[in-house]
Structure 1
Amino acid sequence: MFAPTDHIPAQELMRRQDAVRTHLQAVAPEAGGILVFSRLNIYYLTGTFGQGVLWLPLSGEPVLMIRKGVERARLESRLKHIVPFKSYSELEPLCSDAGSPLTPTLAAVMAGLTWQLGNMLAAKLKSYTLVPGDHALALARMVKSEFELEIMRRCGAKHHKCMHDDLPGVIRPGMTEREIAHKSWEVFFAEGHMGILRMQAHGEECFLGHVSAGSSGNYPSGFNGPLGLRGEHPGSTFMGSEHKVWEKGEPLLLDIGFQIEGYHSDKTHAYFAGPASAVPDDLRRAHDFCVEMQNKVADMARPGTTPAELYAYSVEQADKRGFSEGFMGLDGNKVPFIGHGIGLAIDEFPPLAKGFDLPLEKGMVIAIEPKQGIRGKAMVGIENTFEVTEDGARSISGDSFEMMPVVD
């Protein structure tokens, strides 16, 4: 009676499953398979955003056990074994019946479970040994296939069109941040944004993104990023404030994500309320430095370079050039990274930060986001999404990085 809206090709799903299996043997060599709980990771491995548990054995067929929506899962996923379940006590018999029995040691993606559910799982599977397997999923998702890259390139192109070509014609000085946020949504939805941004770090949320005019760019923020914002309300600290007007002579930073078919691009663009000739020298110099850092980090981001090296270079240059105080945020807004992986979530592995020494690989996608806070004034800077190639990272979200003048 019903047809699915789309399918992930079976070959692509098999590639992902095999990548997780390969990484699992290094991450948890004692485990005979991995239990996956988060809906995002279930989607990655099955093609359906299922609520339940996926058992992916090292050998044998995966088994997807669904609490609700079995019919939809069977429409969308090409897995052979998709069955209903209600209790973790059913995992053992359901997997055995499917011909893929649980193994004595089970890896689990533990970030996908609350403490309560984790304790319940351990109680129901007390005869099994549970070990962490999260990193196997992170490493598999880190390197994108051509199937994934094609989606992300289209996403980035739409993103650039919205922020560079379309938005400057519908925003103007004198608007509140909230009005600018609403105009941004109109433009993004018209271009095909699918309406949700996903973050995977525990407790992090995102809606549209940050709209920060003038001093809002340094407003105290609990979000794990350098750009401050007033937001809508203490109960909804995103988008922009109805009480803050974008005044003439002020920069405006829009840090807004785009999403199609589950995949994201991340982009920050800077605008100025007035002609380009009126941009103050300190803001211009700081913005130019951020653009320079983005381009240099992108050039360095080749297979074999580590995220830690990219971060160390940026911090060293900020220190040498007199930008250390506000680089990547002022005071409590300062963050210890220069960018991050991106894909099905905005905040994917790896962070471009100290201590992350796993070399970059071709096919990884990273967001590079140097920003500079200027005390008492604003924040300026840039962010774009880059595909790692043999010759360095290539922007898939546009190649125009100047602070764009908007005149009323």
Structure 2
Amino acid sequence: MFEPLARIPDAELHRRQDSVRHYLQTVAPEAGGILVFSRLNIYYLTGTFGQGVLWLPMDGKPVLLIRTGLNRARLEAGVEHILPFKSYSQLAGLCADAGSPFPQTIAVVMAGLTWQLGSMLAAKLKEYTLVPGDHAVALAKMVKSEFELDILRRCGALHHTSLHDLLPAKLKPGMTEREIAHQAWEVFFSQGHMGMLRMQAHGEEIFLGHVAAGDSGNYPSGFNGPLGLRGEHPASVFMGNANKVWEYGEPLMLDIGFQIEGYHTDKTQAYFAGPESAKSDAIRAAHDFCVAMQEWCCETAKPGVTPAELYAYCIDQAEKQGFADGFMGLDESKVPFIGHGIGLTIDEYPPIARGFDVPLEKGMVLAFEPKQSIRGVAMVGVENTFEITDTGCRSISGDTYEMIPIE
């Protein structure tokens, strides 16, 4: 006889489900509902991190079908129909018995399935037409409710306290990147970080984040982000390297996410090994440019503005001010965005990039991350998480962006 650790309010779950239904009318108007497979999206729509599938009909009650963890799902999920299943061949019958039968055309969140499982699903439901429905869920998650914003604001405050207020006292030149990473973890856990960071893009992983001292910031990276890093090992390209020492005169970049109650904020804090006076003109100018771009994005991002407009301005300014070569990475490591949505994953919709013309709305939460590579030296810059309000944009992960000197 257990009590659930936490429950998402029923009104919040109904809002989320109705939002997916609303966007599905545009994304897949022919579909009579959507099948959701990824555990994270099942959590978003039901309140439990279930292994199985959720059937969300356009009309009628959702049905949660669970392979493993049925009793936990019944404790946590805010849906009426929670049933066990073993095979995709059972889905149609179980949903019909629950009063929510499948229509002829069904949308599917296809990113939640491997090729193997997707092929199996299509074979088991061959009498139905399956169409992509992923974007309906992405659009629903894009705009946060007050329930979600409350979590994100608390997360951002803890994030700033950790990286800006507490961690500097534990850092000193001469430490290895790995030692720095462990100090960061100690501080983060002390402030309530729940240990997980999640990525949405298929195949992407993340652990703690990036710790890059000096030229590690320009080290070739396979991660879809501007900041390079050596990482622990080719098999674990995260955190910091045990053989790279943070030397006097080098910038140190910590691009580390914070997570509470499933929600993330993203923040990059820059440090400098030595006094302010020891910074080179190149380091100071590059960092100041990135701060200016972040501040411009914050001042400009408001309902009606598009991500593409924010991206275009920053790229134009990088070219005009002589920073085009290393803005958002060097050579093949340069990334084609200056930020991204964030929430239950680090990389939510929309990217702040060319071609993304859906206007910003109140309640969206975005990470702006302008960064500048200096060849042979380091990468510098900033990143913070911002909330779009009725009148503009505000940082929820701190509003001081200086490179902190550590002596």
Contact 1:54 1:63 in 2 (8 A): yes
Map of 1:208 onto structure 2 = 208
Which deviations, in whole Å up to 9, do the C-alpha atoms of 1:17-63 show, x marking residues without a partner? 00000000111000000000000000000000000000000010000
Map of 1:217 onto structure 2 = 217
Q: Secondary structure at the match of 1:353?
A: coil
Q: Secondary structure at the match of 1:337?
A: coil
Task: Give distance in 2, aligned partners of 1:119 and 1:285.
Answer: 53
Map of 2:68 onto structure 1 = 68
Task: Give distance in 2, aligned partners of 1:371 and 1:390.
Answer: 28
Which deviations, in whole Å up to 9, do the C-alpha atoms of 1:117-141 show, x marking residues without a partner? 0000000000000000000000000
Map of 2:28 onto structure 1 = 28
Given the alignment of the two structures, is residue 99 of structure 1 paired with residue 123 of structure 2, yes or no? Answer: no
Q: Secondary structure at the match of 1:100?
A: coil
Map of 2:87 onto structure 1 = 87
Map of 2:133 onto structure 1 = 133
Report matched runs for 1:295-374 at 5 Å. 295-374=295-374
Report matched runs for 1:284-303 at 5 Å. 284-303=284-303
Task: Give distance in 2, aligned partners of 1:63 and 1:302.
Answer: 37
Amino acid at match of 1:303: P
Map of 1:268 onto structure 2 = 268
Which deviations, in whole Å up to 9, do the C-alpha atoms of 1:294-334 show, x marking residues without a partner? 00011111100110000000000000000000000011210
Amino acid at match of 2:147: F
Amino acid at match of 2:102: L
Which deviations, in whole Å up to 9, do the C-alpha atoms of 1:225-249 show, x marking residues without a partner? 0000000000000000001000011
Gaps of 5+ in 2: none
Map of 1:192 onto structure 2 = 192
Map of 1:171 onto structure 2 = 171
Amino acid at match of 1:213: A
Q: Secondary structure at the match of 2:107?
A: strand
Task: Give distance in 1, aligned partners of 2:22 and 2:331.
Answer: 42
Contact 1:108 1:132 in 2 (8 A): yes
Amino acid at match of 1:51: Q
Task: Give distance in 2, aligned partners of 1:384 and 1:400.
Answer: 10
Which deviations, in whole Å up to 9, do the C-alpha atoms of 1:52-95 show, x marking residues without a partner? 00000001000000000010000001210000001000001100
Shift of 1:390: 2.3
Map of 2:46 onto structure 1 = 46
Task: Give distance in 1, aligned partners of 2:276 and 2:67.
Answer: 57
Shift of 1:386: 0.2
Q: Secondary structure at the match of 2:117?
A: helix
Shift of 1:391: 2.4
Q: Secondary structure at the match of 1:308?
A: helix
Task: Give distance in 2, aligned partners of 1:332 and 1:219.
Answer: 11
Amino acid at match of 1:61: K
Task: Give distance in 1, aligned partners of 2:389 and 2:13.
Answer: 23
Q: Secondary structure at the match of 2:339?
A: strand
Q: Secondary structure at the match of 2:400?
A: coil
Amino acid at match of 2:274: G
Shift of 1:171: 1.1
Contact 1:232 1:239 in 2 (8 A): yes
Gaps of 5+ in 1: none
Shift of 1:393: 1.4
Map of 1:377 onto structure 2 = 377
Give percent identity, aligned residues only. Answer: 74
Task: Give distance in 1, aligned partners of 2:328 and 2:18.
Answer: 38
Write out the 4+ residue segments of structure 1 that deviate beyond 6 Å after TM superposition. Answer: none
- Kindly report the root-mean-square deviation, in angstroms, between the aligned alpha carbons of the 2 structures: 0.4
Amino acid at match of 2:160: H
Amino acid at match of 1:150: D
Shift of 1:353: 0.1
Task: Give distance in 2, aligned partners of 1:215 and 1:28.
Answer: 47
Which deviations, in whole Å up to 9, do the C-alpha atoms of 1:170-220 show, x marking residues without a partner? 011000000000000000000000000000101111000000000000000
Given the alignment of the two structures, is residue 405 of structure 1 paired with residue 400 of structure 2, yes or no? Answer: no
Task: Give distance in 1, aligned partners of 2:32 and 2:10.
Answer: 23
Amino acid at match of 2:224: N
Shift of 1:284: 0.2
Q: Taking structure 2 as the reference length, what is the TM-score of the superposition?
A: 1.00
Give aligned pairs, total.
407
Map of 1:150 onto structure 2 = 150
Map of 1:13 onto structure 2 = 13
Task: Give distance in 1, aligned partners of 2:133 and 2:360.
Answer: 21
Contact 1:299 1:391 in 2 (8 A): no
Which deviations, in whole Å up to 9, do the C-alpha atoms of 1:124-173 show, x marking residues without a partner? 00000000000000000000000000000000000000000000000110
Contact 1:310 1:352 in 2 (8 A): yes
